[in-house]
Structure 1
Amino acid sequence: MPAHTFHTSGPLTGTIRVPGDKSISHRALMFASLAVGESTIDGLLEGEDVLATASAMRQLGAGIERGDSGTWRVHGVGAGSLLEPRQALNMGNSGTSTRLLMGLLASQGFSATFTGDASLSGRPMNRVIEPLSQMGANFEASSGGTLPLTLRGALPATPITYRLPVASAQVKSAVLLAGLNTPGITSVIEPIATRDHTERMLAGFGAHIEIGKQDGERLISIHGEADLTPQCVVVPGDPSSAAFFIVAALIVPGSDIIIENVGMNTTRAGIVHALRQMGGSIDELNPRDVGGESVADLQVRHSALTGADIDPALAPSMIDEFPALFVAASLAQGTTRTSGLEELRVKESDRLSVMAEALTLAGARVEEHDDGLTIHGTGGDPLTGTPESTSVETNLDHRIAMSMAVAGLASRSGVRVDDTAPIATSFPTFMDLLAGATQ
């Protein structure tokens, strides 16, 4: 378990490019595997989570190869022609892979077992099991609806209209993917809009998707027994990964950095809006559309941040970026309040309690509530934890590790992160990029 101490740094300068978007990378591999013929994927995130998806799709019959140039080629087999896996599908740390594949296999006529690492095996799957059971799939899960879990798909499955009880792109996607191989029309009602990569990309692969309103809420419908056609997918940079460098540049004096090719999908860009609300200088250069996704280069300069009340309605569009936002709030002038973040308690770790403890160790003033944190900032002064006290436990959570690495850049004595290995699940080049940007 490689521990590392992150120290006060010089300004972040130059131009960097973060890896491909994790959410889009997962979906590109899955949907290409369901299209009959060869698709190509450029910019795929080659982190452990996405590689777990690639491994699972190979076990289900797809041909997936990485070319020497970094282009991935996927030979798909069709939405109704997946093969029963001969052994358990090991999802590693990836909740997205697990929940989306549960949906995909819920309408296939065979059984599959899902396993994962210690962190994933503690995460609840009942929110996906419930609607997929309504469609006819059967589940044998561990206590509390966790992995290991065995699913027996229904063939044919039953189309449903499902209203999401919580804002979750993963649950929405699981139901829509189950609907791909289900006769009739399967629909999801979203009271609060969540990231829409699934709808955009399924439509791009030729699925019949309809998006409308029902009683003022978003209604997404998919026509089943779909025939997907191969595509050439270009994956934009991951805004969740860019968030760590955005915050780092905002809080380290003298910083002026450009982050190229960042996905700016409105259902994902909440972190940029929140940091601008706090006074952050974040300019969008060369905005453009790539494969149906909004993309821009971001110029970020050191800024005097001011505490703010973050609108809970922003949460679905930045749910994975809150640990980074908490770090920015710790260095702001005044108080930042967040609420509506119960979802953070069932991520790779309980991100509210883990970040509250980690930032307190680093010298921040943090109050933890059931659904958020209140953070009293330093006004731009460095965090003042001592080297002896500021040893952060990441709880196998990649975003905790990267957030506290950024906090270390603006601390008087540095921040020691107990284990940087989990960072490889989503951002394998993080350490090298950070070292290069702060030279």
Structure 2
Amino acid sequence: MSAHGTPIPMTAERSGPLKGQAHVPGDKSISHRSLILGAMAVGETRVSGLLEGQDVLDTATAMRAFGAEVTDHGAGVWTVNGVGVGGFSEPGNVIDCGNSGTGVRLLMGAMATSPIVATFTGDTSLNKRPMARVTDPLALFGTQAFGRSGGRLPMTILGATDPVPVRYTVPVPSAQVKSAVLLAGLNAPGETVVIEREATRDHSERMLAGFGAEISTEVTDEGRVITLKGRPELKPQTIVVPRDPSSAAFPVCAALIVEGSDVLVPNIGLNPTRAGLFTTLQEMGADLVFENLREEGGEPVADLRARFSPDLKGIEVPPDRAASMIDEYPVLSVVAANAQGRTVMRGVKELRVKESDRIDAMASGLRLNGVTVEDGPDWWIVEGRGQGEVPGGAQVQSHLDHRIAMSFLILGMASKRPVSVDDGSPIATSFPIFEPLMEALGAHIKRDEA
């Protein structure tokens, strides 16, 4: 059974040309951070274009529990009246983060250096995910964590009473871990330093600077060294959230593999730490054009046009690109299945500990639909069958993972036979308008009787 309620089996069948504009939701990463940093500022932060998926709504609820005043004004416009750095109050109840690994890890960091106690839980999927990657560095500040075996939720965090600054090298590329440490460093004295050997998405650094934190980044022999001066007074901001490139990946990839398609996705965030998928698709021969390049809220933005690309070729994706497209590998594998030749993806062990084991979930589902896949601990290879030559016809498990569910529905739009997922309900966590948006473009998606 779905942790989101009654399972919603869904099926996508071969589509005619996809045409029109795809107004995808606001960026999830920026939406989470705007609510959290707004709550840590003094005064009113105004956010427009907020992603109103369940993951972000759960973060909004959490910020209210920590004492901030969070108001939904409709049409994606929200305000946050913050309590200042170190001003969180102790929640009266357990904080339920639903399906959101990003939300829970950032929240743990934000409260870790305040002298309060908070207990976090989530849905069945989130409660299986490891939290030690965050709680271990937070312990260096003086924070204590008590959870289930393997460092899993539900988990109680005892914030540090007398936090100390930290110098921490992130062992595995992870924007969530980096961001949690930086958020904890806000209420620690002195300078907190985070070192990452491979650059990950830098929304936290950009937004911290925008809110007035003293933060700097330097590239050294150690890697990317980020230094944050603790205990600033963050200033409220007006934030326009660009549209989410991870959500845009689905209509874009569908357009590339469905014959005759021409889709425009307006106002897409093109932060270089997030845009690896689009670079990879272009290397495969995708017809992608960036129009109206501009900057909004400190983030590069463009309108992205994707057209049917019948001559896609398999490539070897550079491992050092993984951090900039880690969430997009599932739908990339769908494009790879419709390309000619092998697509090799290495350095992606992070996929093993996402909402599901995404390598296993995609490999198993692709095999059921007639695609040859090899996989190992941190790699997988998809043997392309060529445009429109994927047999399809199978039902696959979504494993309570929104990106797995959407990826296989995209596969069905270009396969010979329909492709089904056992439960599409998790899609609401990140892309609540996925079905009507894709159907408006011309896709055929139906909900099946459970």
Shorter-chain TM-score range? over 0.9
| Match of residue 147 from structure 1 | 153
Of residues 384, 389, 405, the one that matches 1:382 is: 389
Q: Which residue does the alignment assign to 1:345?
A: 352
Correspondence for 2:61 among 48, 55, 60 = 55
Q: Spell out the pairing of 1:3-402 with structure 2 (5 A cutoff).
A: 3-303=9-309, 304-386=311-393, 390-402=394-406
Which residue of structure 1 lines up, in the alignment, with residue 442 of structure 2? Answer: 438
Give, as a single letter, the amino acid of the residue that structure 2 aligns with 1:154: A
Letter of the structure 1 residue corresponding to residue 413 of structure 2 = L
Amino acid in the other structure paired with 1:361: L
Q: Deviations over 1:154-201 (max 9, x none)?
A: 122110110110000001001100000111000100100000000000
Q: Secondary structure at the match of 2:46?
A: strand
Q: Report deviation, 1:16.
A: 1.6
**Structure 1: distance between partners of 2:116 and 2:234:** 21
Amino acid at match of 1:54: A
Compute the displacement of 1:259 (Å).
0.4
Q: CA deviation at 1:216?
A: 5.0
TM-score under structure 2 length normalisation: 0.96
* Counterpart code for 1:204: G
Q: Which moved more, 1:219-228 or 1:205-214?
A: 205-214
Secondary structure of 2:136 counterpart: helix
In the TM superposition, what is the alpha-carbon distance from 1:365 to its structure 2 partner? Answer: 1.4
Shift of 1:69: 4.0
Query: Are the structure 2 counterparts of residues 35 and 326 from structure 1 closer, same or farther at C-alpha, using a change threshold of 3 Å?
Result: same
Q: CA RMSD in A?
A: 0.9
Whether the 8 Å CA contact 2:257–2:388 is kept in 1: the answer is: no
CA distance in 2, matches of 1:381, 1:45: 33
CA distance in 1: counterparts of 2:283 and 2:298, whole angstroms: 27
Instruction: Tell me which amino acid in the other structure corresponds to 1:21.
Output: D
Q: Which amino acid aligns with 1:307?
A: G
Return the offset for 1:213.
Answer: 2.6
Alpha-carbon offset, residue 367 of structure 1: 1.2
Q: Distance in 2 between matches of 1:202 and 1:68?
A: 26
Amino acid at match of 1:306: K
1:155 and 1:292 map into 2 onto residues whose CA distance is 35
Query: Which secondary structure does the structure 2 equivalent of 1:338 belong to?
Result: strand
Q: What's 2:426 paired with? A: 422
C-alpha distance in structure 2 between counterparts of 1:59 and 1:133, whole Å: 23
Aligned to 2:388, the other structure's residue is in SS state: coil
8 Å CA contact 1:344–1:350 kept in 2: the answer is: yes
Contact 1:60-1:82 at 8 Å conserved across structures:
yes
What amino acid sits opposite 1:415 in the alignment? Answer: V
Which stretch shows the higher mean deviation, 63-72 or 337-346?
A: 63-72
Residues 20 and 43, structure 1, Cα contact 8 Å, conserved in 2: yes
| Contact 2:22 2:251 (8 Å CA) reproduced | no
Indicate conservation of the 8 Å contact 1:156/1:183, yes or no: no
Give the letter aligned to residue 73 of structure 1.
T
What secondary structure does 1:313 align onto? helix
* Cα distance in structure 2, aligned partners of 1:102 and 1:53: 11
Distance apart, 1:373 and its partner CA: 1.4
Q: Deviations over 1:262-301 (max 9, x none)?
A: 1000000000011111000111000110010011000111
Which TM-score applies when normalising by structure 1?
0.98
Amino acid at match of 1:205: F
**Partner SS for 2:390:** coil
What is the identity, as a one-letter code, of the residue corresponding to 2:74? D
Q: Give per-residue Cα distances to partners, 1:319-354, cap 9 Å, x unaligned.
A: 000000000000001111111111101000000011
* Correspondent of 2:409 among 405, 419, 423: 405
Q: How far, CA to CA, are the matches of 1:16 and 1:348 in structure 2?
A: 25
Contact 2:342 2:381 in 1 (8 A): yes
Q: Is 2:67–2:83's contact at 8 Å kept on the other side of the alignment?
A: yes
Unmatched runs of 5 consecutive residues or more in structure 2: 1-6, 444-450
User: How many correspondences in the alignment?
Assistant: 436
**Structure 2 counterpart SS, 1:248:** helix
| C-alpha contact (below 8 Å) 2:16/2:258 kept by paired residues | yes
Letter in 1 for 2:440: G
State how far apart, in whole Å, the 2-side matches of 1:54 and 1:297 are.
29
SS for the counterpart of 1:68 is coil
